[in-house]
Amino acid sequence: MPVVQIEKAALCQCLNRKDFTDEEVDELCFEFGLELDEVTSEREMLAKEQGDAKAAQMGDQLSDAVIYKIEVPANRYDLLCVEGLSRALMVFQSLAQPPLYKAVQPAAGMQQMRVAPSTAQIRPYVVCAMLRNLSFTPASYKSFIDLQDKLHQTICRQRSLVAIGTHDFDTLTGPFLYEALPPSDIVFKPLNQTKEFSAVELMQLYSGESHLKAYLPIIRDSPVYPVIKDANGVVLSMPPIINGDHSKITLNTKNVFIEATATDAHKASVVLDTLVCAFSQYCSEQFTVQAVQVNYPDGRASIYPSLAYRQVDIQVDYLRKGVGRSDSQLTIDEICNRLTRMCLVAKATSDATVSVTVPPTRHDVLHPCDVLEDLAIAIGYNNLEMSLPPTLCTGKQQPLNSLTDKLRLEVAFAGFTECLTFALCSEKDISERLRLPLDSLPAVRIANPKTLEFQVARTSLLPGILKTVHSNRSLPLPLKLFEIQDVVYKSTDSSGSAVNSRQLAAVYYGKSSGFELIHGLMDRIMQVLGVPVDQYKLSATEVATYFTGRCANVLYKGSPVGTIGVLHPETLAQFDLTLPASAFVFDVEKFL
């Protein structure tokens, strides 16, 4: 989960405390549903990452001030920065009221962002906002950059879903244009560079830089790249790669223009709300954000951010039951007070219902159970009564897994070594290498395989075992391997789903085919399964994977459950194996 760093001095200041012990901070975090991950300092962190010598070399440049690393839930984006975390703790400690965020439309008119139709090819959405009369300090400026990084790593999914750009508005002229152009047509001076580059040159430049290299594949193969410009044609950014140097923000920046391009409009709104709510406290008019109008090609005009508050009506009995409290133990007033401490302002609308106001920072609240969770945190998990569930359930191993474990032991006792291979393989593995036509196989294909080795779910265990034999040819012969795992088939009904089937396969590879050993192992398995002699037999058949005339179906109660035989030389040659081998494969589930 994400980790937020906050200095001890800053925490003491926001909570009106002269000092904190580490134990008190740990307890406070636990009460709020967080976890104190580490107590450290700049010097200790550098020594841990680069060694004591490097830390000593830096000398007085490093601070020894205590830093708390606090682990926050992955869905609480509002706690990913010092500002959001400290304000939440202040409200939790009843040292402040939940802030009222609002988006205003200036009398002179909103800034405009026009979206060109070409963006539909790559990143079709953009949201914007303005922070006016902002006052940065070195600490808040660093926190502003850090929050963007944390959002990029979490909800933005490494910038693939959303990419944030922040700019000094005083260096720009509206209205703005968001379009997508061929890479050769995009030329600008990127952040912290001294000359202009084309987008093609930037891809080459950043392909060797670890910081930006990971983001290049997001747009590299596209015929057009997204770009944002102002009214004078000045490039603000080429998302999701880099901002322009012209509009970079500094400590002296007073007005910040924020844009976030995305492939997911909802996540873009969440990211924008999180960023502006956290840092609007540094504006001259606290918690106030200036809205921007985004005009889409279809004529639709959207105003961002909305900073809308939602009302959720919840039954009091639902909340009491969830935390195990009676009417007298948990009054409506107490429910409202405790939820307000969690920044969820609540009011009683009747004796049976409370209305909870969900702020724009709490996009994680999707259902009444999320409100219930916050109520439980406010009460304190340690204060909740422990009780046994009203039903008694006895667990036991699934019959199929129990049978699998017993068969695994029996085959191992027979001198065979178990292998564990990939559940995914190439189309060639299950068809051409086994001398079977691909069209005849009910294979489940991966829609977007990242490699040719993982195109389909395996329909047989044989390819994986034979690959293992190939990788262990240097070991003393013979090689006796087996595997008992699932294979996957397309369902035979019209649902279009897939089904798993548990198979057991064994291979003997040596100077002779060893068919008698494979046959003996099959007989032993049938014996331990308790199959009567008259219900198990082999019936000659022809399967292209096996040698002609040396293959049989394994019949159980007259129905085929598997195959056994000497592998065809061409099958072995597909796996670069030059010695003879025998194998069997059968369906374990038929014996349940």
Convert the pLDDT of each residue in 227-263 to its tens digit: 999 999 999 999 999 999 999 999 999 999 999 999 9
Element (H, E) at 237: strand 235-238
Taking only the tens place, the pLDDT of each residue in 97-151 is 999 999 999 888 899 999 999 999 999 999 999 999 999 999 899 999 999 999 9
Residues contacting 391, CB < 8 A, separation 6+? none
Q: Which of 310, 305, 320 is nearest to 367 (CA)?
A: 310
What backbone torsions phi and psi does residue 344 show, to the nearest 5 degrees? -115, 90
pLDDT of residue 494: 64
Residues contacting 210, CB < 8 A, separation 6+? none
pLDDT of residue 431: 92
Q: Which of 164, 139, 168, 143 is nearest to 154 (CA)?
A: 164
User: Is the pLDDT score of 501 beyond 90?
Assistant: yes
Tally of CA atoms within 13 A in the half-sphere of 304 that contains its CB: 28
User: Is the pLDDT score of 56 beyond 80?
Assistant: no
Q: Tell me 188's DSSP state.
A: E
Mean pLDDT (the chain) is: 91
Please, what are the domains in the chain?
3-75 (3.30.56.10), 102-304 (3.50.40.10), 310-380 (3.30.56.10), 399-591 (3.30.930.10)
How would residue 14 be classed by pLDDT, with cut points 50, 70 and 90?
confident
- Cα(352)–Cα(316) distance, integer angstroms: 5
- Cα(166)–Cα(266) distance, integer angstroms: 19
Q: Which of 52, 478, 86, 17 is nearest to 278 (CA)?
A: 86
Taking only the tens place, the pLDDT of each residue in 378-422 is 998 888 888 777 787 888 899 999 999 999 999 999 999 999 999
pLDDT of residue 425: 93
The per-residue DSSP string of 268-319 comes to HHHHHHHHHHHHGGGBSSTTEEEEEEEE-TTS-EEEE-----EEEEEEHHHH
